[in-house]
Amino acid sequence: MPKYGSKELLIKVTHVAQNPTDWKHVHFGLAKPGSIVGCDFSGIVVQIGKEAVGKYINYYYLQVVSKCLN
């Protein structure tokens, strides 16, 4: 089981998306080595950290993050 912090969620990812900009950042060398490229996903919340804040309807979670390139 992966480790997660007290303010984080542990999510079993069920769906992911890769946008054209994701692979283009890799292909054209715009992403730094080791960076996360593409971070659109949804899944089922498996565990909730003791200090996590938010509403998780029916324990499903959708994440859409902008500016996820390191």
Distance CA(45)–CA(67), nearest Å, equals: 23
Q: Residue 52 sits in which domain range?
A: 9-64
**3 in a structural domain:** no
- Predicted confidence band of residue 67 (pLDDT cuts 50, 70, 90): very low
Q: Which residues pair with 12 in a beta bridge?
A: 44
**4 lies in some domain:** no
Instruction: Quick: pLDDT tens for 5-61.
Output: 998 888 888 888 888 888 898 899 998 888 878 778 888 888 888 888 776 655 555
Q: Do the domain assignments include residue 59?
A: yes
User: What pLDDT does residue 61 have?
Assistant: 52
Quote the pLDDT of residue 26.
87
pLDDT-above-70 percentage for the chain? 77
Where does 1-70 have alpha helices with state H? 20-27
Q: For residue 2, tell me if it sits in a domain.
A: no
| Domain contains 56 | yes
| Domain-located, residue 1 | no
Q: Is 20 a member of any domain? A: yes
Q: What pTM does this model have? A: 0.58
If one counts the domains in the chain, the total is 1
- Tell me if 69 is assigned to some domain: no
| DSSP label at residue 32 | P
